[in-house]
Chain A
Amino acid sequence: MSSISIRELKLNFGSVEVLKQLDLEIEDGEFLVLLGPSGCGKSTLLNCIAGLLDATDGQIFIKGRNVTWEEPKDRGIGMVFQSYALYPQMSVKGNLSFGLRNQRMARDEIEQRVSRAAEMLQIEALLDRKPAALSGGQRQRVAIGRALVRDADVFLFDEPLSNLDAKLRSELRVEIKRLHARLANTMVYVTHDQIEALTLADRIAVMRHGIIQQLADPHTIYDRPANRFVAGFIGSPSMNFLDGNLVRNGSAAAFDLAGQRISVDGYRANGGDLNGGGTAVLGVRPEHVTIQAQSRPDQTIEATVDIEEPMGADSLQWLRVGDQQLSVRKRADVQHEPGSTVHLDFDLAKASLFDANSEQRL
């Protein structure tokens, strides 16, 4: 049974359609990340699940129950916000217990839940402090604790790490992952940071303009992006896109790049027709290209060496093919003379071909 099920959800702000006919099934215990650029409607979708926004149309089920018209508190959710949203005049303990006290829960039960959450998040020592006396990371732990004590079936996170500095962010990221492993309840996590998405998610839903572009596990998203937008959004350094044509080369199909041809035999097609010809875009990540000294017919392409960007363990070599640019990841100790000609070998099994017009994967 899916934990959250969203059916034909629509949401308009006035005349602006933010979510259009959105369908989404989230499995029990799954960690689902909503990923997309700013303003694509991630928070809006999350707020709809939480009940903080009323859907214009469509339905939302949580644990098989139609909650479309229920108040947030009755949906069995806990939520964590980007700005922490702690109650500033209350101590950490007050923050954790305010909701429970308001439900007139028994005092021992509250105590027990608060201390369990505090133990899980290692904030026992901070219970009597005010939020103003906490660091950003500690505040976000308290905010997570406030969701924990609710004993919710579903946790919703809205960019919880965006206000933290890089080091704290990676620490807390690991902690959230550990929390999910321990609690095993459903989590929906909104972020615009692809690293967070790739490290945390069981499945990622990549969104753009209020539409889910691809919903899949991180490997599939990374290796077999459904369209050019997903391919370009995921991965750092980002994917190279080379414009060219699909042509017939004897009996097999080949990709023609400004007169040079490479065979696309190894390409794992998505059911698209490679033999039809026409313009196409070859998308290949910097780590799936290697620089060779020797050329091999139908396998390699000639390129001119441009500048190099060192990145620590390895470095990024920029090259030119005709009037197009691409980058290749290589070992830092191998040097190429700028202006010299080298031969590029593409790993077609890990590359993507997109239709030039629809931008969908072939």
Chain B
Amino acid sequence: MTAPPETGFAGAIHNTRRAGLVVVQPRMGFAEPSAMRAGLVAVRDARATTVGTITLDSYTRVGDLHSARTAVRTRTRLNGYPLCTHPDDTTRSMLSEVYRPGFPIQIRHGSARPRHIIEAMARIGLDATEGGPVSYCLPYGRTPLRSAVNEWSAACDRLAEMSTPERPAHLESFGGCMLGQMCPPSLLVAIAVLEGLFFAQHRVPSISLSYAQQTQPEQDLEALAALRRLIGELLPDLDVHVVLYTYMGVFPRTRAGSSALLDESARIAVFGGAERLIVKTVMESVRIPDVADNVAAVERAEREVRCSQQMRAAGRHPWAPSESGLYEEARTMIDTVRSLDPDLGIALHIAFRRGLLDIPYCLHPDTQGRTRSRVGPDGRLEWAHVGSLPIDGPRPAGHAVGAQELTSMLNYVADRFDSTVAVR
């Protein structure tokens, strides 16, 4: 492995890893530069080991800069920061004194066609973002997968070009989340690793692979172990770390339930060996969280991380990872896709067309839509139909999921946390 980077996003993660800490990060974005700055300052000063986030708004994401401009002009609230609409100098002064070596900042967006965003980052000097040809395409609209692959190839090349050995650009795969819920962990792990291999093919020097908390901690620990093992096997020469997302599906409606779910994710991060944790707030099911909500969430997560680290040091483990063959399933999918074409972009495209990769309940036309998943009786997320995936599993004839069943599965985690807290 090459010498670890000293500065930028990658460098900061290295330093905290060396110190045995888990970096905690919000999902934060505000339209107004003053609010965005206030949020970054508050996260930097929070009682936690943090990095900053600028989440972009949905107009910027889909490339509708006209609507972003109109919203800024008419002071209409946006769901994120319009990076490509505010003049670069406005963003530079928003960042001045905040964005420094000790406090790296990541741009999170969700764009299948990200060139305008990467160019703005290059002009402003921002070095870290999130994305992927699959994970920023299939859950995020109707851009054809083929275009997203081309666009993300160019984006990765640009990130590689922006990099210097001292300050490598960093790219995180969103592959461990997909539609936020109901995607069995083996497939999440496979997509994250395949996107990591895609980034490596394009010489992005520093990457992270994600995994989102699902329905059962034992299964999540098995998934994180599989992800780490696959990174060791398939990406041994690259600077890679693992980032855990607090639950990305329908969130509990009570404060207590939301907090308990956040706590559980912090424990999973520690016992699963993630270097970074991206949190959610108690306002998740209600509205865009404000600065105070975000600070409360990172501080709470930090406390739980420290508690869990003490538990671990004392040899106490809350859960035993399950042993369901998750690694083997992920590995089979990865190997099958890699065998399709030496160019991973082409291989991914073929794989989705043939259903060798297929996300349950995904509406995107470039997937076959034959797979189905369910929350099993023991709370594990499992396959209900494996479609044409190259793995063993159920292929029942003619079971359609109804509205009631769908809602109860989507609300499984929210209900579990809201109700356990209520009885307490």
**Do the two chains bind?**
no
Residues in A lying within 8 Å of B, measured CB to CB: none
